[in-house]
Amino acid sequence: MDNLFLVLSLFLPRLTLIIYFFFFHIPPNNVPFIGDILLGVFLPRVLVVIYIADNLGTGSPWFWIHIVAAVVVYLFSANKGNKRWRKNR
């Protein structure tokens, strides 16, 4: 697995998946093609974590860095959405 893919997908997972898809460098995985498309559109961080688990294993530091980043992003984005919703009410 490419280090550039790991670093870019940490900050811009959807864009990284699109770029690597068009250049045919998606990491080997066990996800069906329709799963790649759906997860890439709706949950790109989950797809990247699946790629890392398939190729590097769950003991890899990259796996845990991406898990922590996903949790932080989802927690803070939910909090930001709740603040907007309350402000508009």
The residue extents of the domains of the chain are 3-88
Instruction: Give residue 48's pLDDT.
Output: 93
pLDDT tens digit string along 69-82? 999 988 888 666 55
Does the predicted TM-score (pTM) go above 0.75? yes
State the pLDDT at residue 76: 84
The confidence score (pLDDT) of residue 2 equals 82
Place of tokens 């991406």: 66
Task: Quote the tokens at residue 49.
Answer: 């974590």
Q: Rounded to an integer, what distance in angstroms lies between the CA atom of residue 64 and that of residue 24?
A: 26
Residue listed under structure tokens 């959807």: 14
| pLDDT (0 to 100) of residue 87 | 64
d(CA 43, CA 80): 18
The tokens for 37 are 């498309």
- pLDDT tens profile 8-54: 899 999 999 899 888 888 888 888 889 988 998 999 999 999 999 99
